Amino acid sequence: MSPPQKHTQPVRSRSQRIGLLLFFPGFIIALIGALGAGSIYPKLFFLASLCFITIGSFLYFSAAYLSAPAGIRNNRIMFASLSSRGSIGVIIALFFIAFYILMYWFPFYLEHFIAMFHPLSRMLRGKPAEQYFMYGSLYTFTIIIMGARALMKYRHSRYQIVRTCAVIFSQFVFAFLIPSILAAFNEPEKYVNYFWPLSYKDLFPSNVNYLLNFEGAISKFLLAWTILLTFAGTPVLTFFFGKRWYCSWICGCGGLANTLGDPWRQLSSKTLASWKIERYSIYSVLSLIVITTAILWLNHLFGGELLGQLSGGFIRFYGFAIGMIFAGVIGTGLYPIFGTRVWCRFGCPQAALLGIIQRFFSRFRITTNGAQCMSCGNCSTYCEMGIDVRWYAQRGQNIVRASCVGCGMCSAVCPRGVLNLENGPLAGRIKSDALPLIKSFKSGI
Amino acid sequence: MEHVVIIGNGIAGITAARHIRKHSNRRLTVISDESKHFFSRPALMYIYMGHMKYEQTKPYEDWFWKENAIDLVCDRVRKIDTKGKKAILRSGSSIPFDKLIIATGSKPNKFGWPGQDLNGVQGFYSLQDLEAVKKSTAGIRQAVIVGGGLIGVELAEMLVTRGISVIFMVRETHFWGVVLPEEEGDLVARHIKNHHVDLQFETELKEIVGDSDGKVSAVITGKGEKVPCSFVGLTVGVSPNIDFIKNTAIETDRGVLINSCFETSIEDIYAIGDCAQFREPSTGRRPVEQVWYTGKMHGETVARTICGKETPYMPGIWFNSAKFFDIEYQTYGTVMSQQKEGEKSFYWENPKGDKCVRIVFDSTTQAVLGFNFFGIRARHTTCEYWIANREKLPNVLCSMAASNFDPEFFKCFEKDIISQYNSENPGRMITLKTKKGLFSNRLT
């Protein structure tokens, strides 16, 4: 195929250019703050950067999306450098990776940047910010801003509107406000939208004991909450709605993928080979956690002190290799290269567990509408989990896959109204309403 | 081993190949010079718009063909030697066959307008056409599209995404007048205009004018008006791509003539898809069927005949779909642009005028005959069930929700539809029964 032509560069309107002109100063203010000024004038730099970035982004996105009638506007995604692994995409990926490396292992280099979050942290938690408060605030802020973009871009789809609002709400309340308030009351700073096995430490004996011995009722409530969601919420909700109730409505990782990551969702690999890798890698991580948790409890129940060190060792290894490298640096840092759900697809133990339930014991499926598919490939292209949706749709088969997070984008981009996310009886959920033609040939060859 | 050769790797030819492979281990060769691998033709527009890359329009990964022992030959068939049972290629070589399937699709119509072969004037059908549109529209500001059908509106949508002003000339008095009733045509026209396309009805193309480099510079309309432009899209329908078959022993008319088992006048030679013409089309069907879905069904049916189980074409109830910019369209059964005698139709449109439902029914028995949906997704199996079982209009309306295929949380219009029916039919009040949901169609 011929290379994209010159004029395929995005044509930006005046309001979009003004938006960018406001966004970049906001970004530069944040950089200057990070280089030192943040420690001297934390409030000023924090607020100035926040205002410029917020107003600039809103202007840019509303000019980009609200100026055209509502509908799917994936125009130029395959040409734009940002979204097609061009130089801008690579630069952004490098920036993300650098940020993660500094934040996890060299936070002292971010000292002045973190200082910009002290006033907010003092206000909410009554203590200065550390790197993870800075990260959590930035994460929440990003989901809100890019969530607004998703709301504008997909405003023709009520499913996307409701889902995006849920994701923003969940991040802001469960992963930002509640943990901050808990911290203000000297309670364990728990992100209540995460639980075992994603928040793997939650059910380790050491953590359970810690919460049981912690003064006050809230820690007991947190323990009960974790146990409830892990053992009751996960199977019951997944049975009724599929894993989407968590992965694309509640989870913060999913929230970031569906907001910040939206420009890159098409980059996930759809090959059969990557599906094979996915099955090995994701269930390995789940097994690792299940086995470790089981061993730790056995050890604990038999009063063994032998494995006392294992817990700490495991947490250090897993936290480094899986939590930081896999979920952070690769999972999010490489959004612009491998697409948005690398962690969710290849690593997340929660997604693995929910996926097993969804595949074998759930009312959820994506229905294929009769024989209307014309194999265009929009569904597969925009599936962030790398499912070759078209493969099912064109043969009139429902999509029942462990990995599907139910983001609903295949249904939204389908130009022929072929795909629909539905909950229904278990009987016949995989079997399909095949082509009208095939039906009349039941007794055929 | 019997060698089956298929000319054309579009949806019809490839479906035939896949199904022959499913049923047998015959040797299979597919010849095409358009592309090495099968791609989705309706997706060409998305490549231009930047929604997808060419790679992503291919429904099967490249290893699929070797894995399934389907040989792909990149060449063009120049001639068919019906006696010697050989396909003679442009490269000079020839491929012998035991059975041959002609699935060469269509080519865009050109009606002999002066200037129709100038640079920057073209139809839009093939991968090569897409490349040509990319080249011809690079950096231009004004385009003209002639002919108000599905390809025309796709081309308009494509050009708009690159900031090109489009004048869309349609001969009829309303949009896609040969297929759509007036209300639906108007609904689509309003939407097209919302996208800043200059849609002009009752406007015919008379002549295309070029500059000294042989490139298009303007068109002249039937009224004598001269419209400057740098690109002209001719989207006035397609016709069977069978020039290389004319003057052979294979009988042709508009397309390659076939019986209901896709057999041509020559034994062991079959024709399917856009290029085929039924000698006796089944009731309510056209002799030449030029849509994706029929190509797929032709391919699947001929595969059975070729594998030894002679199977006539049994297409079932007609259906089709399209998208006009943001408005999706689905149709089931027969909805004609002009109502036939003995038929009536119920039409509902939302106040915003961007969604509508039309149900055609038999005026004596009230049995539903066809549906048009614009901006609302409908469940194929439910609509088909209603038509096949000649369900009566009031019953269909009562359980209308069962056919709703819109995503969760979308606004439902069934109540509005019923209250309009009730106001039009006082004394025959009906109420909504079924709720929207999976398998609710089983309740009807």
Distance CA B158, CA A222 (A): 54
CB contact under 8 A, B50 and A69: no
- Most B CBs within 10 Å, among A374, A382, A397, A442, to test the B interface: A374
Q: How many residue contacts between A and B have a Cβ separation below 8 Å?
A: 187
Helix (H) / strand (E) element for B122: namely strand B121-122
pLDDT at A379: 98
Distance CA A196, CA A231 (A): 9
B328: nearest CB among A272, A377, A417:
A417
Domain count, chain A: 2
Closest residue of A to B158, CA-based? A75
CA distance B88 to chain A (A): 28
User: Chain B contacts of A440, Cβ < 8 Å?
Assistant: 314, 316
Closest residue of A to B127, CA-based? A1
Mean pLDDT computed over every residue of chain B: 95
Residue type (1 letter), A240: F
A378: nearest CB among B51, B135, B195:
B51
DSSP state, residue A413: H
Residue A427 belongs to domain with CATH number = 3.30.70.20
Helix (H) / strand (E) element for B377: namely none
Average pLDDT over every residue of B26-39? 97
In a domain, A235, yes or no: no
Tell the residue number behind the tokens 């396309």, with chain if given: B197
Please check whether residues B277 and B184 belong to one and the same domain. Answer: no
Distance CA A86, CA B11 (A): 33
Please check whether residues B290 and B389 belong to one and the same domain. Answer: no
Q: Report residue B230 as tokens.
A: 């740098």
In a domain, A25, yes or no: yes
Q: What is the pLDDT of residues A37-81, one digit of tens each?
A: 999 999 999 999 999 999 999 999 999 999 989 999 999 999 999
CA distance B77 to chain A (A): 23
A381: nearest CB among B56, B163, B326:
B56
Taking 3-state DSSP, the helix, strand and coil percentages for chain B, each rounded to the nearest 5, stand at 25, 25, 45
CA-to-CA separations, A206 to A225, A300, A345, in angstroms, rounded? 17, 9, 29
CA distance B409 to chain A (A): 6
In a domain, A213, yes or no: no
In a domain, B314, yes or no: no
Distance CA B217, CA B228 (A): 6
In a domain, A171, yes or no: no
User: Chain A contacts of B51, Cβ < 8 Å?
Assistant: 72, 74-75, 77-78, 378, 381, 413
First to last CA, chain B: 50
Look at residues A41, A67, A93 and tell me which one is the last residue of a structural domain. A67
**Cβ atoms B124, B151 nearer than 8 A:** yes
Please check whether residues B175 and B223 belong to one and the same domain. Answer: yes
Please check whether residues B67 and B55 belong to one and the same domain. Answer: yes
B46: nearest CB among A1, A79, A376:
A376
Question: Exposed/middle/buried for B266, CB within 10 Å: 0-12, 13-18, 19+?
Answer: middle
Residue B157 belongs to domain with CATH number = 3.50.50.60
Distance CA B166, CA B159 (A): 7
Please check whether residues B145 and B209 belong to one and the same domain. Answer: yes
User: Chain B contacts of A427, Cβ < 8 Å?
Assistant: none
DSSP state, residue A342: H
CA distance B93 to chain A (A): 27
pLDDT at B388: 93
In a domain, A24, yes or no: yes
Long-range contacts of B121-125 (CB under 8 A, 24+ apart): B121/B208, B121/B216, B121/B231, B121/B232, B121/B234, B122/B232, B122/B233, B122/B234, B123/B151, B123/B233, B123/B234, B123/B235, B123/B238, B124/B44, B124/B151, B124/B154, B124/B155, B124/B233, B124/B235, B125/B41, B125/B151, B125/B238
Distance CA B385, CA A54 (A): 52
Distance CA B386, CA B115 (A): 50
Instruction: Using pLDDT thresholds of 50, 70 and 90, give the confidence band for residue B439.
Output: low
Question: Maximum Cα–Cα distance for chain A, whole Å?
Answer: 81
CA distance A15 to chain B (A): 16
Distance CA B229, CA A71 (A): 28
**Cβ atoms B343, B360 nearer than 8 A:** yes
Domain count, chain B: 3
CB contact under 8 A, A420 and B292: no
CA distance A73 to chain B (A): 8
Domain limits at B291? 3-107+239-306
Sequence-ordered list of residues with C-beta below 8 angstroms from that of A257, at least 6 positions apart, any chain:
A265, A335, A340, A341, A344, A384
CA distance A110 to chain B (A): 38
In a domain, A275, yes or no: no
In a domain, A373, yes or no: yes
Q: Report residue B410 as tokens.
A: 């979308």
Please check whether residues B181 and B85 belong to one and the same domain. Answer: no
Q: Report residue A66 as tokens.
A: 């609200």
CB contact under 8 A, B379 and A370: yes
Q: What is the pLDDT of residues B143-200, one digit of tens each?
A: 999 998 899 999 999 999 999 999 999 999 999 999 999 999 999 999 999 999 999 9
CA distance B188 to chain A (A): 14
CB contact under 8 A, B377 and A369: yes
A69: nearest CB among B47, B161, B326:
B326
In a domain, B335, yes or no: yes
Look at residues A46, A67, A88 and tell me which one is the last residue of a structural domain. A67
Residue B380 belongs to domain with CATH number = 3.30.390.30
Question: Which residue stretches of chain A have pLDDT < 70?
Answer: 1-11, 304-309, 431-445
CB contact under 8 A, B297 and A440: no
Please check whether residues B79 and B155 belong to one and the same domain. Answer: no
The secondary structure of B158-181 as a DSSP string is: HHHTTT-EEEEE-SSSSTTTTTS-
CB contact under 8 A, B293 and A371: yes
In a domain, A86, yes or no: no
Please check whether residues B359 and B279 belong to one and the same domain. Answer: no
CB contact under 8 A, B325 and A394: no
Q: Report residue B142 as tokens.
A: 């004004």
First to last CA, chain A: 40
Sequence-ordered list of residues with C-beta below 8 angstroms from that of A173, at least 6 positions apart, any chain:
none
Question: Exposed/middle/buried for B308, CB within 10 Å: 0-12, 13-18, 19+?
Answer: exposed
User: Chain A contacts of B153, Cβ < 8 Å?
Assistant: none
Q: Report residue A197 as tokens.
A: 């096995």
Helix (H) / strand (E) element for B96: namely strand B94-96
CB contact under 8 A, B292 and A415: no
Look at residues B273, B306, B339 and tell me which one is the last residue of a structural domain. B306
What is the number of residues in chain A? Answer: 445
Instruction: Using pLDDT thresholds of 50, 70 and 90, give the confidence band for residue B433.
Output: confident
In a domain, B270, yes or no: yes
In a domain, B113, yes or no: no
**Cβ atoms B330, B378 nearer than 8 A:** yes
Distance CA B433, CA B421 (A): 15
User: Chain B contacts of A445, Cβ < 8 Å?
Assistant: 23, 304, 307, 309
- Most A CBs within 10 Å, among B190, B438, B440, B441, to test the A interface: B438
Sequence-ordered alpha helix ranges (H) in A217-271 = 217-228, 234-241, 244-247, 252-259
Chain centroid to CA A177: 19
CA distance A405 to chain B (A): 15
CA-to-CA separations, A327 to A40, A331, A347, in angstroms, rounded? 33, 5, 8
Distance CA A378, CA A388 (A): 10
ipTM for the whole predicted complex goes beyond 0.90? yes
Distance CA A331, CA A346 (A): 9
Domain limits at A18? 12-67
Give just the sign of the alpha carbon dihedral A75, A81, A86, A88.
negative
Closest residue of B to A80, CA-based? B50
Other C-beta atoms lying within 10 Å of the C-beta of residue A213: 8
Other C-beta atoms lying within 10 Å of the C-beta of residue A1: 12
CB contact under 8 A, A156 and B297: no
DSSP state, residue B431: -
User: Chain B contacts of A394, Cβ < 8 Å?
Assistant: 59
Closest residue of A to B164, CA-based? A7
CB contact under 8 A, A372 and B162: no
- Most B CBs within 10 Å, among A161, A271, A369, to test the B interface: A369
Taking 3-state DSSP, the helix, strand and coil percentages for chain A, each rounded to the nearest 5, stand at 65, 0, 35
Q: How many CA atoms lie within 13 A of A236 on its CB side?
A: 6
**Cβ atoms B95, B89 nearer than 8 A:** yes
Q: Report residue A185 as tokens.
A: 């009351």
A372: nearest CB among B163, B321, B408:
B321
Residue type (1 letter), B293: Y
Please check whether residues B145 and B291 belong to one and the same domain. Answer: no
**Cβ atoms B32, B65 nearer than 8 A:** no
Q: Identify each DSSP E strand in B137-255 by its residue range.
A: 142-146, 165-169, 198-200, 205-210, 216-221, 226-228, 231-234, 238-240
Rounded to 10 deg, the angle between the A272-301 and A349-360 helix axes is: 110
Average pLDDT over every residue of B414-421? 95
CA distance B192 to chain A (A): 11
CB contact under 8 A, B59 and A394: yes
Sequence-ordered list of residues with C-beta below 8 angstroms from that of B225, at least 6 positions apart, any chain:
none
Sequence-ordered alpha helix ranges (H) in A202-322 = 205-213, 217-228, 234-241, 244-247, 252-259, 272-301, 308-318
Distance CA B275, CA B239 (A): 8
User: Chain A contacts of B312, Cβ < 8 Å?
Assistant: none
User: Chain A contacts of B164, Cβ < 8 Å?
Assistant: none
Other C-beta atoms lying within 10 Å of the C-beta of residue A319: 15
A415: nearest CB among B316, B328, B378:
B328
CB contact under 8 A, A69 and B300: no
B407: nearest CB among A11, A420, A440:
A420
